[in-house]
Each structure stands twice: as structure tokens, then as C-alpha cells.
Amino acid sequence: MGPVNNNQQSLSRRMRIFLLLATIFITGITIVLLLKKQPEITHDALKQEIQSLQNQLPIRVDAYTELMNVEAGEMEIIYSFVVEDDPTQESGISVKDDDFAQQVQSAVKNSACINKNTRRYINSNVSLSYRYMNNDNAMLAEFVISAGYCNK
């Protein structure tokens, strides 16, 4: 019974990682669909794009994650997500995992340069900040993808 349970956990973990990657992809697509493309990203243009997106919030990006807020800093986009834990613990990645923050950061950074929408911001000297909180607003993960990251 033990190996089957481990296989099921491994499969669930892969499914949760897939959902996190899908979240990143959907967020990028959402930005493109909701925002007017700018030939050059300036601070003012960035603020306008973010204001347009804020009107659509909150956005459910998967079964466990909701984009609650997007802010424009000085050449920075700050995404704030709320992550609900799977009460059945079948998801593989749980907000209760000690390495949840590391897993989320790794998944987001690995896909940032692949996704043309996030890559566009990063290559235009815009940093992307990610905040993942639970329902009680406790910080689960917080990290920044610095401007120019994809050029490294």
C-alpha cells in the first residue's frame, strides 16, 4: 500500500506543479487580453495597464489560486495571490509544505522567460514581484523576478 500511496502523492505533486505553471501562463494571457499593448513600457504606460487589469479583479486562476491585486510600482508589477490549501491534502504541493515557497518560486521563475508576456515586461526593465498569501493573509511566498532576468 505504501508504494501506491507514494505514486499517488508524486502524481498529485506533478498535477499541482502543472496547475501553478498554468496559473502563470493564464496570468500572462490575461494581461495581454485585458491590456492595450504599448510599443515601449514607461512608468505611466505601466500604471495605465495595471489600472485596466485592476478592474477585472479578483481573477480565479486555478482551483486553489486567486489573483487578488495587481499594483504598479516604479517599473515594477506586484502580483498578490491568495492560495487556498487543499483540505484533502491530495494536491501534492500544500501551503503547509515546508518548501512551498521554494517550489512556487522555482515554478514561476522557470516559466517567466518562456512566457512571451512576462518576458516582454522583464526585457523592458520591469521587475515582477509575486506575493502568495493564505486566507488569513499570512505570507506563504514572496519573491521578485528582476528586470533583465531573462537576459542572464
Q: Which residue has the cell 500572462?
A: 28
CB neighbour class for 108 (10 Å; exposed up to 12, middle 13-18, buried from 19): buried
Instruction: Report pLDDT for 30.
Output: 54
- Under the banding of pLDDT at 50, 70 and 90, the label for residue 61 is confident
Instruction: Report pLDDT for 38.
Output: 43
Residue 132 has pLDDT above 50, yes or no: yes
Which amino acid, residue 44?
Answer: D
Instruction: Report pLDDT for 74.
Output: 86
75-128 per-position pLDDT tens digit: 999 999 998 876 544 445 556 667 788 888 888 888 898 888 888 889 888 999
The contacts of residue 132 (CB under 8 Å, 6+ apart) are 65, 81, 82, 83, 101, 104, 139, 140, 141, 142
Contact (CB, 8 A) for 117 and 28: yes
Instruction: Report pLDDT for 48.
Output: 87
Greater confidence, 53 or 8? 53
Contact (CB, 8 A) for 141 and 100: yes
What are the start-end ranges of the H helices in 2-112?
A: 2-34, 43-54, 100-112
pTM to 2 decimal places: 0.70
